[in-house]
Amino acid sequence: LAGFSLGGIAQVKYSTGSFKLNATGTGFDRTESFDSWIPMLGLGVHVGLLADLLELRAQATGGAYDSENYAYEALADLSLTPFPFLDIHAGYKLVQLKVDQNNYMMDVFYTGPYAGLTLGF
């Protein structure tokens, strides 16, 4: 009654942002912005635990176009699907993103639990 699937993932991580720096009284006022596109590849796995009702899902993706611009993320969650159009899930996720564009440097790392509700139609 349980299923299993393993599949590849291809995606692009797009980040955009801007920052502004000014010094009152000096006339210094500067604004910079950036756009970053990082191609990512990964793997996803799904294990059905109880027919089509309860499943374990995991995926990991990563990519870079040089040593200063890269991203990776991973997640694992448990999903309950009481109806074909409703998915309730909770798990743990981590995201690392490093961008160095137009003199703008960003290095973020997020981890933690999450919960979600998906309605399909």
Q: What is the pLDDT along the chain (121 residues), one digit of tens a residue?
A: 568 999 999 999 888 888 788 888 888 888 878 888 889 999 999 999 988 799 999 999 999 988 888 999 999 999 999 998 999 999 999 999 998 877 778 899 999 999 999 999 8
The two beta strands, 4-23 and 28-50, are: antiparallel
Residue 103 CB contacts under 8 Å (≥ 6 apart), including other chains: 32
pLDDT at 1: 52
pLDDT at 35: 83
> Judging by beta carbons within 10 Å of its beta carbon (0-12, 13-18, 19+), is residue 54 exposed, middle or buried?
middle
pLDDT at 26: 87
Question: 102: phi > 0 → left, psi -120 to 50 → alpha, else beta; which?
Answer: left
> What pTM value is reported for the model?
0.75
